[in-house]
Amino acid sequence: MARQFFGTDGIRGRTNAGVMTAEIAMKVGQAAGRRFLRGGHRHRVVIGKDTRLSGYMLENALVAGFTSVGMDVVMTGPMPTPAIALLTQELRADVGVMISASHNPYADNGIKLFGPDGFKLSDEDELAIEAMLSEDLPLAESEQIGRARRIEDARGRYIHAVKASVPQDVRLDGLKIVVDCANGAAYQVAPSAVWELGAEVIAIGVSPNGKNINEKCGSTHLDLIKETVVASGADIGIALDGDADRLIVVDEKGQTVDGDQIMALIGTELHARGQLRGGGVVATVMSNLGLERYLSGLGLTLERSKVGDRYVLERMKEGGFNVGGEQSGHMIMLDHGTTGDGTVAALQVLSALVRSGKKASELLHLFDPVPQLLKNVRFAGGKPLEADSVKAVIAQAEKELEGKGRLVIRPSGTEPVIRVMAEGDDGAQVEAIVDRICEAVKEAAA
């Protein structure tokens, strides 16, 4: 069955258009509610959101949908995505919902769903819910309509949980840390957690107004945090995205530390303590070849999955790994949660910084990335990757890179874009190959 609503990370789109309307949100609530009405207990759903203006509209629509099929609703207000996964488990809920479009601009929004185990839904569950969206679903009898309430201690519960991921003997006293929350879901909890562990915190991106989420701040717009770290003389900066499930770090010199370097550090630390499971780390096909070579030097493997943290997680569970992530900053540590958590990942980095006694620039650059280039080709329709002319160019490129690089070409799961990535020891060769493939895709799509 072709997917009309669900992409690589739930349902996402521009609000009041396409798949992201109040009407569809209500239907999603009804369908997901019906899907998880299992057993004879009173059923419950946890709903959180980030700080987008449209969150109010979608929250109310989802509440209407879930209560109409007989589910009680617990609302948390603005909270990180991993907090909703956590609370779904803690509150013994049947399903969890996060209203967020992650790192996208405020005009977009999305719906992410979690099962009772706190993990994102399987393909089977998503396809079943998608099929139900076009059906007339049975509603609850009048006396069985659900109730809705807000809980006031959600922030405290989450802060306690993320602090528990740090050993008791680790304190952040003496560190000056810039925390950029992207005017998003973690604007209250992330600075509080870091401050409670003893650090001096300079918080930026903590004044959400409904429209400024991810706007020139956060993990996808690093100029502000780089300037702030250097100007304030901070020891390190941590940048989250709109729903705080990804992390990018900035060292004391203002240099970017991406997800690959963060995975290398966390993997190295756990391996040294005998706590790394699976014999390595799981990442996606987009992670740099330099990371793979670095881990190999430690006798560890880099397992690769399709792009998307859900696919990283699937491979982690299959292989018994406890560390995985994406170059873009999603960090999954199954010892501490069920989904990507930028705040937990940041605390692991900060703990390593304290223990090492080194500067961030000395600790966080564990390998030299090989030249890597990613370009996007937007197309109006059709399937340009199936054109013989494109296949021929790709085959030639693979032959040129054999043994000294990699090529990854894939359609986006959320927009009409072909992503072309190549990496290898020769930067000029990589650039020429990417340009050649992009041009072939454009011609095939014309």
Catalytic residues: 102
Write out the H or E segment, with its range, that includes residue 257: strand 256-257
β-strand pairing of 176-180 with 236-240: parallel
C-alpha 81/C-alpha 244 separation (Å) is 7
DSSP letter string over 84-133?
HHHHHHHTT-SEEEEE--TTS-TTEEEEEEE-TTSSBPPHHHHHHHHHHT
Residue corresponding to tokens 């369908």: 31
Residues ≥6 apart with Cβ < 8 Å to 75: 47, 48, 59, 63, 148, 149, 150, 151
Give the span between the Cα atoms of 321 and 305, in whole angstroms. 13
Q: At what angle do helices 289-297 and 259-272 cross, to 10 degrees?
A: 10
Please tell me the total number of residues recorded for the chain in this structure: 446
The edge-to-edge listing of strands for the beta sheet with 331-333 is: 301-305, 280-284, 323-325, 331-333
Q: Is the Cβ–Cβ distance between 99 and 59 less than 8 Å?
A: yes
Two structure tokens written together for 266: 């966390």
CA distance 296 to 267: 12
> Residue 286's closest CA among 127, 132, 390, 408?
408
How far apart are the C-alpha atoms of 358 and 204, rounded to whole Å? Answer: 25
The neighbour count for residue 253, using CB atoms within 10 Å, is: 11
> What tokens were used for 265?
């550090």
Mention every residue, 6+ apart, whose C-beta is less than 8 A from residue 138.
34, 69
Closest CA to 176 of 79, 274, 250: 250
